[in-house]
Structure 1
Amino acid sequence: MKSRGNRKKEPTPVFSPGRILITLLLATILLAGDSSWVWRNAESLTRYGQADDGTITGFARIPDSLGRAIRPELARLGSHSSGLIIAFQTASPEIRIRWSVLHGTQLPHMPLTGVQGLDLYAVDPVREDWNYVGTAKWWEKDTLSHNTTLLENWTGGLRPYALFLPLYDGIDSLFVGVPEEYILEKTSLFDEQSKPVIIYGTSITQGGCASRPGMAYPAILSRRLHHEVLNFGFSGNGRLDPEMADYLATLPASLLVIDALPNVSAEDVEQKLTDFIRRFRSQSNVPLLVIPNISYGHEDDNRKTGDALAIKDKAYVKVREMCKKTGIRDVTFMSSKRIRFDDDEGTVDGVHLTDLGMKRHADNLYTSIRKKIK
């Protein structure tokens, strides 16, 4: 084994007797500490943000049958848990989480707390008030399994909680723990009679690049609307695939928001958007809200980007006029002016949104969505 610098002393063997003894002692302490805790499998708790489809496995967003019929990269993204919420209630002063992710996704422009982490919110269903509690974070590197404490020293008694799941990875296992003297049970967050809002889109819809799951714009809208939202954002792959139009048309919903233009080339917008709307409307009467391409922070500096966005805007207007002329009903097109940002300070890279950008995008969409579902 090579020495480091001028040091000649060999490092302690990884599997030395002393290190093994220390490892065993630490494991014993951890197990003893958990013996007074009760752990609930999240599979047994209330789940929101996932289509009511008995063929979906675990915490994925699409059924296995659809995964076999679509592009492989789209199917893989469908295994990500973006938009899913686990609901429970407890009076415990402390809440811990154990979870394992499927892929170990790491991105250069997005915090791991958003990619693989979780967010906990406390909910007051009467006042429809959501209070941020904590974000799952960890120090271990290159591991798929994590654990953390999300709540400590709470003295206010029983209340409902919403646990937002990772944006850019899938969940392999998830457990919520409380001290054994407290009860943790499933609860409801939203009106069970209302149908969810579906948002179909791109990496931005999926959550890129929010710092934590609760700051993805569909999650922000879910809290503001106090309404279940299904996140069908697929990073780089919200390309208006006909298979997605077919699947989304089978789902009960109060509204389908199409926010996919950033993943469609300027030359393809008119044809693909037209085909997607027609295909969906031929199978479903769910109202549609179509969103133009958001403004980019570098569109004024990069001539190619600026020109492409101008072409997209013209194609977007053509599709809107086509829907009017051909009598395709209940399709609303938002104006490009309504979703432009006042400055360029809301992105990581000129395109993907920071928490600030996510909040601004949610603000821009909120009024139109609220009107449609009310």
Structure 2
Amino acid sequence: MSGANHGKAAKDDHEDNNLRIGGKGSTDLKWLSALEAPLRVTGLPWLERDGVYRRLPVNPSHAIRPEVDRLANYTTGVQVRFRTDSPKLYVRVKLAAPYSMYQMTATGQCGVDCYIGAIGDQRYINTSRFDFAHAEYESVLFDSLPRQMRDITLNLPLYQGVSELHVGIEPSSEIAAFPGFPVGKKVLLYGTSITHGACATRPGMAYPNILSRMFPLEFLNLGFSGNAQGEPELAHIISQIEEPGLLILDYEANTPSTERLRESLPEFIRIYRQRHPEVPILVISQIRLAREVFDEEQASRREERKRIQREEVGRQRSAGDRNVHFFDGALLLGDDPQDCTTDGIHPSDLGYDRIAKTLRPVIADLLKAIIEQAMGRDEGK
């Protein structure tokens, strides 16, 4: 055996099968488009009208900046839900473009991950594996589970558009519709790259997706990385989403200036209130950044912006709107946030887990009446 061949054989002998691209080959599978029943796509309020994986309308009522228009095609927060007894589950994904981000994993930008279980009891099982040089891939999510009916949730890529998505199951298996959310309201999150999901290692670890596993409602991720400037146009468009249960505003870090934040926040709330006078609004200030330990000016700027938001919420409440609330984002990463980010700004999976767990009781309190009312109706049936 030549030295070159011996080296190749040694590499093959020691290769970890669990790290192979794609997983086992997909033979004799039945493929279904995620856009067709009984599969259900959530997180896209204009899907029924426009028929594409896009978080804002194709033809919005108000003009949006080109950067926001581009980011609206990224499928962060989008989920595919269904039930099946198939022992195997595969995905075929056609992306708008291949992996391209130095600060995010390929699985975070372009991957699909899978959770099994009903709402509130969803357990992670796997993430798609693929050659990140290509914009199309097929991958196994599981292939040898016992045959029994399971609730499936697929989280779509955080930082890439999806042109097509198909689910592959064993041909003889049953597939059924997702039973629906017990609470028919939606949680809307408008914010920055942190809301968007940078730099989670896989889609399910973005904090809106983590929160979606904690509550019996649909979550809509309206994070626009680097471009959530609190524009009135976005307030008008977001106000068109039907059945809101809660609006979260977490866009401070993207505002061009402190003065712009001071102007945009009351205007955003005013516009939203024209359509939804009673929906709770939660304003969240920015998280603490790693460099603030060494940069007093940056820490001071965050404190000033926090004060502006807290005071604006206070003014709204003093004027009679008791459904506007404020939360100090400096608390989101806990007492020691130093190791909670990937690049000093964007949370790691640890950081996102802390954000979701910190927000959980806050959101639960704001949604308490809605959840109790809906659960009471279900029990009375």
> What secondary structure is seen at the aligned counterpart in 2 of 1:221?
helix
| Structure-2 separation of matches of 1:324 and 1:336 | 20
Deviations 1:248-300 (A, max 9, x none): 11212100011111112333221111211122112222210111111111112
Structure 1 residue 141: deviation in Å? Answer: 4.0
Q: 1:168 to 1:336 in 2, by over 3 A?
A: closer
Bigger radius of gyration? 1
Conserved? CA contact 2:99–2:133, under 8 Å = no
> What secondary structure is seen at the aligned counterpart in 1 of 2:137?
strand
Sequence identity of aligned pairs in percent? 33
Deviations 1:22-44 (A, max 9, x none): xxxxxxxxxxx756211001111
> What secondary structure is seen at the aligned counterpart in 1 of 2:292?
coil
Equivalent position amino acid for 1:282 in 2: Q
Structure 1 residue 176: deviation in Å? Answer: 0.5
| Structure-2 separation of matches of 1:303 and 1:332 | 28
Conserved? CA contact 2:341–2:348, under 8 Å = yes
Q: 1:215 to 1:113 in 2, by over 3 A?
A: same
Deviations 1:130-179 (A, max 9, x none): 111110121x2421101100002101511110011111111101110012
Equivalent position amino acid for 1:303 in 2: E
Question: Which of 79, 98, 109 is the matching residue for 1:104?
Answer: 98
The equivalences for 1:1-374 within 5 A come to: 36-44=28-36, 45-51=39-45, 54-66=48-60, 69-124=63-118, 128-138=120-130, 140-191=131-182, 193-251=183-241, 252-264=243-255, 265-285=257-277, 286-336=279-329, 338-343=331-336, 344-374=338-368
Q: 1:160 to 1:324 in 2, by over 3 A?
A: closer
| Structure-2 separation of matches of 1:228 and 1:246 | 20
For the aligned residue pairs, the C-alpha RMSD in angstroms reads: 2.0
Unaligned runs of 5+ in 2: 1-24, 369-381
Conserved? CA contact 1:120–1:134, under 8 Å = yes
Structure 1 residue 232: deviation in Å? Answer: 0.3
| Structure-2 separation of matches of 1:166 and 1:244 | 23
> Is 297-306 or 225-234 further displaced after alignment?
297-306
Question: TM-score, length-normalised on structure 1?
Answer: 0.86
> What secondary structure is seen at the aligned counterpart in 1 of 2:93?
strand
Conserved? CA contact 2:81–2:153, under 8 Å = yes
> What secondary structure is seen at the aligned counterpart in 2 of 1:273?
helix
| Structure-2 separation of matches of 1:51 and 1:70 | 17
Conserved? CA contact 1:46–1:188, under 8 Å = no
Question: TM-score, length-normalised on structure 2?
Answer: 0.84
Aligned match of 1:16: none
Q: 1:141 to 1:349 in 2, by over 3 A?
A: closer
Q: 1:338 to 1:52 in 2, by over 3 A?
A: same
Count of residues paired in the alignment = 339
Unaligned runs of 5+ in 1: 1-32
Deviations 1:170-214 (A, max 9, x none): 1101110012222333322522x5211111111111111100000
| Structure-2 separation of matches of 1:143 and 1:339 | 36
> What secondary structure is seen at the aligned counterpart in 2 of 1:62?
coil
